[in-house]
Structure 1
Amino acid sequence: MPYKQPVSILLIIHTPELDVLLLERNDFTDAWQSVTGSREGDEALIDTARRELAEETGIEVGEAQIKDWQQSHDFEIFEIWRHRYAPGVTTNTEHVFSVCLPERCEISLSAKEHRRFKWINWQQAAEMVFSPSNADALRELPARSAH
């Protein structure tokens, strides 16, 4: 298996009322997060966001529905996942996106990645996620959504 690129997306999925979709990881107990994933090949980051959304939730949207926040963060890759990256790679650059769905919906989880999902308000979501950059993005959601 080829190494993952240390370039990824974070995709906040929300409703107009700012209910947020969180997914619980299979490989990290009680680790809740928004949709995330690494870029493959030379795909555009918006295409990474669309692909990861479809793979992790079964939700398919057009490119125009995804909002690019034009924001990125560098963070240290958790030790438990470093084996997925080339030797010596310890930092990842994460690019933030969001998508507003008209209402909460059922999703089709990727069983290899996630065990459960839940829709909750953005404040609770910001407290639940394990990633500091995910929590920061969730706290920015009201301003980014013009609420």
Structure 2
Amino acid sequence: MSGPPWKIPESVLVVIHTPALEVLLIRRADAEDFWQSVTGSKDHPDEPLALTAAREVAEETGIRCGEGSPLAQGLRSWGLQNVYEIYPRWRSRYAPGITHNTEHLFGLCVPERLTPTLDPREHTAWRWLPYQEAADACFSPSNAEAILLLPKFAQ
């Protein structure tokens, strides 16, 4: 029997937004006061980051933005990354000794506010907010900072 399937400490953060800079936030099921953008780890070390981003958006919101989809051109890497300390409550998901994660920033521009389809095991609510309000509502400082960069990358 093999050991636990450790999470890879390399992830994506995808800020889903409209042209009017409204941002979709989703609330974590395991922490009721934690509102966030789509985020998730690579499935395997060689997985391309754009594939990770499109997969996570589909898994967490039901929005399809992978290659060949109508929204594929709206998914863009911002060419930025954050390295942050993994919250102690979630470190058991990673191999022993892993304390930091590298997060790659993406944006997904959708033409209008879409209604996401959430997996209630992961997220329990969603809302669209103007980007400044969305940044204020995020529990994660790196997520808030990414949202505040939206005007620069949404052009």
Aligned with 1:143 (options 130, 147, 152): 152
* Contact 2:10/2:101, CA 8 A, preserved across alignment: yes
**Does residue 107 in structure 1 map to residue 116 in structure 2?**
yes
State the partner residue of 1:92.
Answer: 101
**Does residue 31 in structure 1 map to residue 34 in structure 2?**
yes
Aligned with 1:45 (options 49, 60, 83): 49
Q: Percent identity?
A: 51
Give 1:136 shift: 0.5
Q: Secondary structure at the match of 2:149?
A: helix
Give 1:61 shift: 1.4
Instruction: Kindly report structure 1 stretches of 4+ aligned residues shifted beyond 2 Å.
Output: 62-65
State the partner residue of 1:4.
Answer: 7
State the partner residue of 1:70.
Answer: 79
- Structure 2: stretches of 5+ with no match in the other structure: 68-72
Whole-angstrom distance in 1 between the partners of 2:22 and 2:75: 17
**Equivalences, count:** 146
In structure 1, give the amino acid aligned to 2:62. Answer: G
Whole-angstrom distance in 1 between the partners of 2:80 and 2:6: 24
TM-score, length basis structure 1: 0.97
State the partner residue of 1:81.
Answer: 90
- Structure 1: stretches of 5+ with no match in the other structure: none
In structure 2, give the amino acid aligned to 1:126. Answer: A
TM-score, length basis structure 2: 0.92
Q: Secondary structure at the match of 1:109?
A: coil
